A and B are shown apart, each in its own frame.
Chain A
Amino acid sequence: MSDALSPFLEATIRTATPLALAALGESIVERAGLINIGLEGAIISGAFGAFVGAQVAGGAGVGMLAGALAGALTSAIFAVFAVGLRADQIITGTAITLLALGLTGTLYRLMSGTATTVSAIPMLSPVVLPGLSSIPLIGRALFAQPVITYLLYLAVPAAWWWSTRTHAGLALRAVGERPEAAAAAGIPTRRVHWAALLVGGMLGGLGGATLVLAQAGTFVEGMSAGRGFIAIAIVALGRWHPVGVALAAVLFGAASALQYLFQSMGWTLPYQLFLAFPYVLTLLALAGAAGRAVPPAALGRAAPAGS
């Protein structure tokens, strides 16, 4: 049994990492009262940025930075419209996602159009933590992962501490709950929105970079494959709490990794059912979480004018 479980658990954490990064970022954005459907766009931009960055600089570290930057840039476009012009967030986000999918697809095809072979890019190799990784069953799953996963382990408690124990974190939540009151209390709501979006975009971009540099080893058109939308669902499922969000991401990682478990157990099911499963689970989980999760009061509403 553990022969089948170990690869399943490893795959779970591997698939959960980019989802958790993106969802953690989106939870900050939503805590500030914004909903950024353009997260999907930030992820695909991050993936493309990481691919180009790693190829040009010849290093996975530069690739990660380029991915984070590309994600932040994508969110900045969202911010110009949704915060600057106070345009509808759902429509803006949909447009940003379309834009990023189209732009990365076009640029990638133009780049690879002349080349006949796919050039290899440097990847983030797993770092095996001595001792911890020999814990039975979960050791390798948790502690033989690329460095970005360990950064995530640190980021989750840090985000919790920041949002509940610091002045800036509380200001962010005030803007998401009562923007008018926050503005009256002297909190620069627009600047808070911008900062939240840039951080959210950066984390989404890192999620996309992880897909390229720690998993696929190349860029594929549309490789974000709806992870941005799943991440938004994960935020609701994790009740806007960093730890809840991380656990929800692991649940979805497990749903996506289920095919490995089935394969090793020798069970067969049509491949498409595995592909569809995480999306079905998202729907069921959201329906199940109904009523218990309370979103930030001002979520999705345009910020007050003149703040």
Chain B
Amino acid sequence: MSRYPLAIALLVMAVLLALLFASITLAGHDAARALRALLSGSVGSWYAFTSVTLVRTVPLILGGLAVAVAFRAGVWNIGVEGQILAGAAACTAIGMSVAGWPAGVALVVLLLGGAAAGAAWAGIAAVLRHRFGVLEVISTIMLNFVALYGVGYLVRGPLQEPLGIYPQSPELAAALWLPRLVPGTRLHWGLVVAVVAALGLWWFLSRTASGFRIRAAGASPSAARSAGEIDVARTAGTAFLISGALAGLAGAIEVTGVTFALYETISPGYGYTAIAVALLARLDPLLILFSGLLFGALEAGAGAMQRDAGVPSVMVSVITATIILAVLAARTRRGVPA
């Protein structure tokens, strides 16, 4: 029964990738050179691996975890992108007003503030879902746009740098920067935070009662309600807030570890790539460490491909989408309704 559509699905994906590479060649680019740039820009050197690939891996792991905990609970949080922006904005705002605090304390406050803002941004969608029955798929996407324009306003208004020329915030004091993890590279301690978050989420989901409730509520809300006496609405709300907090933390880490200031373009779609990261890892927090690394390398390589071979880096979304579709096709083939 399902063999026939699967063949079509695989064919569609093959045609898409062939179309992509054919158009790269037709447009006068050297496809082999593009591929070489993809590799050398991601894993070709120690610097590329640590300063580009791993740096990009951090928000993808945290974003992937955010997507995973929500999807596990049956909450379709497509709003990780907006929650990252909310976290980045709050972290910057707090960073402007903690002058004179002990550096370590201030940094922790910044990261927690980012997480809280991400959770609050997700909380809007959670309230809309539970109180008003608004589909979170729609509300979180709407909130992504509101966050994007909100940050656009902040960096031209209340949070703009003192000269008032550039659409960005002033730079954070150096005491508020996340320390470098590997000297001589741009890799920061955010990677450790991301790995700890993955281990923590794995432990939470597989070893605690709350984690079990989340998985049960996601697997079958009606069974969880009747057989498990689980408050499904409350459980989904908890997962939604954890998801937002992880995304907000990712935003705060980008500000304190990578950009040191708030920009409109601080997230090049991390929140959307995170969906692919989570799905490829089958929503497993430990596997997300690896799928996050894969997509981090892919994005790093795509940047190099655009610089060195002139191939637009937006084609990464095509690859991301193809991977999501491949995962769906493979899952449904095993008879699991994906």
Contacts and interface: CB of A to CB of B under 8 A. Distances in A.
B321 A95 contact: yes
A86 B142 contact: no
A135 interface: no
Classify the interface of chain B: helix, strand, loop or mixed.
helix
B312 A110 contact: yes
B145 A279 contact: yes
Contacts of B146: 276, 279-280, 283
A106 B24 CA distance: 9
Contacts of B317: 98-99, 101-102, 105
A302 B338 CA distance: 10
Interface stretch (B2-10, B109-117, B175-183): B2-10
Interface string B115-150: 000000000100010011111011101110110011
A85 B9 contact: yes
Interface string B309-329: 010101111111110110011
A306 interface: yes
A236 B333 CA distance: 33
A272 interface: yes
A225 B6 CA distance: 32
Contacts of A279: 142-143, 145-146, 149
A94 B269 CA distance: 13
Classify the interface of chain A: helix, strand, loop or mixed.
helix
Interface string A263-295: 000000010110110011011001100110000
Interface in A291-307: 291, 302, 305-306
Given A270-B156, A273-B153, A286-B139, A91 B324 contact: yes
B162 interface: no
Nearest to B264: A272
Contacts of B310: 113
Contacts of B131: 287, 290
Contact of B138 (A111, A114, A232): A232
B313 to A, nearest CB: 9
Given A77-B12, A80-B12, A91 B272 contact: no
Interface residues of B, number: 64
A92 interface: yes
B307 interface: no
A81 interface: yes
Contacts of A177: none
Given A85-B5, A279-B146, A102 B332 contact: no
Interface string A212-237: 00000000010000100110110010
B331 interface: yes
B318 A106 contact: yes
A286 B135 CA distance: 9
A87 B12 contact: no
Contact of B133 (A92, A270, A290): A290
A226 B337 contact: no
A4 to B, nearest CB: 24
B28 interface: yes
Interface in A66-115: 77, 80-81, 84-88, 90-92, 94-96, 98-99, 101-103, 105-107, 109-111, 113-114
Contact of B157 (A80, A99, A270): A270
Most buried by A among B9, B320, B328: B328
A171 interface: no
Interface of A: 35, 37, 77, 80-81, 84-88, 90-92, 94-96, 98-99, 101-103, 105-107, 109-111, 113-114, 221, 226, 229-230, 232-233, 236, 270, 272-273, 275-276, 279-280, 282-283, 286-287, 290-291, 302, 305-306
List the 4 closest A-B pairs by CB distance, nearest first.
Answer: A102-B317, A84-B5, A99-B321, A110-B27
Given A102-B316, A305-B1, 10 more contacts: A77-B12, A86-B332, A86-B337, A98-B321, A102-B321, A103-B16, A105-B314, A233-B142, A283-B146, A286-B134
27 contacts: A35-B137, A37-B78, A80-B12, A81-B9, A81-B329, A84-B8, A91-B279, A92-B328, A94-B272, A95-B324, A98-B276, A98-B324, A99-B318, A102-B318, A105-B315, A110-B23, A110-B24, A110-B29, A230-B142, A272-B152, A272-B153, A272-B156, A273-B153, A279-B143, A279-B149, A283-B142, A287-B131
Interface of B: 1-2, 4-6, 8-9, 12, 16, 19-20, 23-24, 26-29, 76, 78, 124, 128, 131-135, 137-139, 141-143, 145-146, 149-150, 152-153, 156-157, 272, 275-276, 279, 310, 312, 314-322, 324-325, 328-329, 331-333, 337-338
